[in-house]
């Protein structure tokens, strides 16, 4: 399909209503610099406001990249939660279960899910609480279970973390779980690739990993974060975009969103990124995939 607009959302799983870690950038076809979007009347986004943006305020034919994991590992054990009889069979069923168990948690947070007596044993949580099922028996590393797409990210030089890990500055588990609540609330009105097939016209949501965009812009995985306008403009220029301009510091969440929006504009037409060799129908329905991971 043909996209005319490209949006990148740097997501946050932090507690509270509004988050400095959420940044939204948008660009259109051509080479104009991406621009940051802000919620009406506020400097910081809330997660429900992002949901409203996706449902009601997207420009036509928008490819939306969200920096979160759209599912949990499944292929390595044939289940999200091996040994638990209520383990859901698909990504969509997982999203529904998370949203249901966390119905009383405000702002799309997910504490009730990871503290659930049947589920907590699968997560690594704060206070040294590593569940008995955080690793599979005979695991070769201590990073926790990985999706197939995360192993592909690692081969590209990135440093993915397990979505079952909720500890540390680089963890993505919290943002992924809160993001799955949002994906469930989309209710199929905005397709989520590859859990849903690509429609004939937009919008479409995909999972992104902003490090992949930074590497495409000439950065290394270890230097993916940009915190000044000079580095940001250099990355944008490398992606064929006009520079944003400005000087001095910029927060890394905004920089990630801006660079990734520009990268999506260059990558959306690449057929091979929509057809990764390891992506099967079963994997699409359970684990999903990260757009851009080979």
pTM for the model = 0.96
Distance between CA atoms of 145 and 134, rounded to whole angstroms?
7
**pLDDT score recorded for residue 191:** 97
The reported pLDDT for the residue numbered 35 is 98
Residues 6+ apart with CB under 8 A from 144: 124, 134, 135, 161, 162, 164, 165
Which pair of structure tokens corresponds to residue 13? 């799983």
Determine the straight-line distance between the first and last CA of the chain, rounded to whole angstroms: 20
Give CA–CA dist 193/199, Å, rounded: 9
Residue 207: beta bridge partners? 66, 290
Q: Whats the size of the chain, residue-wise?
A: 294
Rg of the chain on CA atoms, in Å: 18
Angle formed by the axes of helices 47-56 and 173-186, nearest 10°: 40
The predicted-structure confidence for 22-80, as pLDDT tens digits, reads as follows: 999 999 999 999 999 999 999 999 999 999 999 999 999 999 999 999 999 999 999 99
Q: What angle do CA 77, 272, 215 make, to 5 degrees?
A: 85
Q: 159 and 165 in contact (C-beta within 8 Å)?
A: no
Tokens of 128: 């040294």
Note the pLDDT tens digit of each residue in 152-171. Answer: 998 888 888 899 999 876 77
pLDDT attached to residue 216: 95
> What tokens were used for 61?
């034919």
With a cut of 50, list the residues of the chain below it in pLDDT. Answer: none
The reply to whether omega before 162 is within 30° of 0 (cis) is: no
């Amino acid at each position: 399909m043909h996209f005319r607009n490209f949006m990148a959302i740097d997501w946050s799983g932090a507690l509270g209503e509004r988050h400095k870690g959420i940044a939204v950038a948008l660009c259109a076809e051509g080479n104009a610099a991406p621009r940051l979007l802000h919620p009406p009347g506020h400097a910081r986004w809330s997660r429900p406001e992002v949901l409203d943006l996706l449902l009601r305020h997207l420009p036509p034919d928008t490819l939306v990249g969200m920096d979160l994991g759209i599912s949990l590992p499944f292929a390595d054990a044939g289940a999200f939660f091996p040994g638990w009889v209520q383990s859901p069979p698909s990504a969509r069923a997982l999203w529904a279960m998370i949203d249901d168990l966390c119905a009383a948690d405000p702002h799309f947070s997910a504490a009730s899910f990871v503290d659930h007596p049947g589920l907590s044993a699968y997560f690594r949580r704060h206070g040294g609480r590593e569940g008995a099922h955080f690793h599979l028996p005979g695991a070769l590393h201590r990073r926790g279970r990985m999706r197939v797409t995360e192993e592909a990210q690692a081969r590209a030089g990135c440093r993915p973390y397990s979505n079952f890990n909720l500890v540390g500055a680089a963890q993505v588990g919290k943002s992924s779980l809160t993001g799955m609540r949002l994906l469930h609330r989309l209710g199929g009105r905005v397709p989520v690739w590859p859990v849903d097939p690509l429609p004939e016209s937009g919008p479409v949501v995909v999972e992104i990993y902003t490090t992949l965009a930074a590497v495409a812009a000439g950065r290394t995985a270890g230097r993916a974060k940009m915190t000044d306008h000079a580095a940001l403009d250099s990355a944008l220029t490398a992606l064929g975009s006009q520079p944003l301009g400005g000087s001095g510091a910029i927060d890394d969440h905004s920089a990630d969103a801006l660079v990734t929006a520009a990268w999506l504009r260059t990558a959306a037409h690449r057929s091979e990124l929509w057809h990764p060799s390891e992506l099967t129908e079963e994997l699409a329905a359970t684990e999903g995939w990260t757009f851009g991971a080979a």
